[in-house]
Amino acid sequence: DDFCCSLFQFPILVSHFFSSPLCSMQRSGIKALIIGHTGAVGRCTVAQLLRSEHVDQVTTIGRRTLTMEGEDAALNDSPKLHQHVIDMEKMEEHKDIFEGHDVGFCCLGTTRAAAGSAEAFRRVDLGLATTFATLAKAAGVQHMHLVSSAGANPRSWFLYMKTKGEVEEAYKDIGFDKTSIYRPGMLDRGPLARRIEKIASWIVPTIHVRQVAASMIAVTVEGQKEAV
């Protein structure tokens, strides 16, 4: 059975699911695997992982490499950073990349508009995200982080919320030693903000992507009590 605890600090809900009530996680020498690293949350997560003294390796998997800019530009030359460009539709052919990692981060996410269709959206947000987690579990990853969304619900009438809810259920079913699911509210992506997000930020509270990344790093390094 899964054991769950949830923490809430507006506007982000963090839930942890344990396959064992005595699950203990590594806190140093961490080797992290991340998908969705070129997105707003993902790039912040990569930067913070590289800066952490507790992390020895950060491996990215995706269609392109991440080039960090501004104050993070120096991190592009970090010996900790290992980037792999693959055909994401053939992720199963790259199982070797997944080996030797302790923790995984799924920051993958798109929209129906960006993907081009409902089917394409689900192929990314559900299909690729689930394949990543399945391969990570098979390779021995113990702890998986999933960036979801406030309002995620597998029974929702809305495509986005329904898909996010289905991904959450899939991740819990895969059965990592620990699964941490983050449901942030409206994201502040800074210069990467979508037009609708810029408009909405004047109306509803937002959470900066750096804070979402920081929550995941805190959970990884120090444990769930320091999550938010």
Active site residues: 160, 164
Cα–Cα dist 11/169, whole Å: 21
Q: What is the DSSP letter of 178?
A: E
Q: Report the alpha-carbon angle 21-24-28, nearest 5.
A: 165
- Phi-psi bin for 193: left (phi > 0), alpha (psi -120 to 50), beta? beta
**Which residues are within 8 A (CB) of 188 and not within 5 positions of it... i.e. 6 or more apart?**
197, 201, 206, 207, 208, 209
Cα–Cα dist 184/216, whole Å: 12
- Phi-psi bin for 152: left (phi > 0), alpha (psi -120 to 50), beta? beta
Whether the Cβ atoms of residue 100 and residue 117 lie closer than 8 Å to each other: no
Among residues 62, 110, 99, the alpha carbon closest in space to that of 84 is found at 62
